[in-house]
Structure formats: structure tokens, C-alpha cells
Amino acid sequence: MSHPTSTVLEHSVFGQSNAPEAAATALADWLSALGRVGLATLFLWAGYGKLAHMDGNIGYMKAFGVPGPELLIWPALLAELIGGAMLLVGFKVRWAAAALIVFTLPATFIFHAYWGAPADQVMNAQINFMKNLAIVGGLLTVVAHGAGRVALDRA
């Protein structure tokens, strides 16, 4: 009969006890990368949309009383494009995610203030408000945990 300590030692020496942990770590690394890609896609698409449809986005900003929308659209689209690209490739992701949080929170309260929306727009505004809070939650996770091992920072 084998002694319990020798079984633990045998497993650790031959790497058998680490296999499930290594697989879980590898899976977590790839899931982290996929999460970053999802967040990045959202911001890259939004930044591209601002660039491709500048006049419509400026009009949208004016409709919500944003001062100087012709000027403010540029830092908005740059934040989305640069921050999104940084998330995508895994470069300085904590900084990128923090910057995108600083961008997303005010935008959420300006453009999706469902409590002041006309009755026929409340549901849509509330859905978008909650969606943005979920995006901020995802970004906070990136700030807390970083890029993971599948990232440019790790190369």
C-alpha cells in the first residue's frame, strides 16, 4: 500500500497534479484574450462609426446639448480607436481600459439618461445605459487582472 505523502510526491514530480491547473490557466488566458477582443471590437466599431459618419454623430451630440461637438468628437473617436486597438493586441491594457472607463461613464450618463428620456425612448435608453455599465464592468476586470498571457505585453 502506498503512503499518502508518496502519492502526492509522485504526482508532483511527474507533473500529473499540475495538468488540470495548467489546462485551466491556458483556458483562462485564451478566454481573457477573447474578452479583450470583444471589448476592443465594440470600441473600434464605435470609433470607426464616428469617423465614417462624422456629421450624423456631431448632430447626435448636439441633440444632447454637448458643447463643442465638432471639437469633442475627435478625442472621443481617438479614445475608442486607440483604446480599442490597445485592448485588441494586449498592449498596456490596464491603462487602455482605465481610459475607456473614463470615456464610457460620462457618455453613459449623457446619452443614455433614461430617467429623463421621453416615454417612447425610455426602454431603449435604459437598455443602453445598462449595457454601458456592463461594458464598464468588463473594463474594470481588465484593469484588475490585466491582459493575461496572450498579449503583446507578454511577448
- Residues 120 and 57: their CA atoms lie apart, in Å, by 21
Q: Given this model, what pLDDT does residue 150 score? A: 85
Helix, coil or strand: residue 152: helix
Residue matched to cell numbers 502526492: 8
What is the torsion angle, in degrees rounded to the nearest 10, for the CA atoms of residue 40, residue 41, residue 46 and residue 48? 100
List of the chain residues with pLDDT < 70: 1-17, 155
Q: Given this model, what pLDDT does residue 16 score? A: 57
Residues 6+ apart with CB under 8 A from 18: 12
Report which of 39, 134, 143 is spatially closest to residue 97, judged by C-alpha positions: 143
Residue 152 · residue 89 · CB < 8 Å: yes
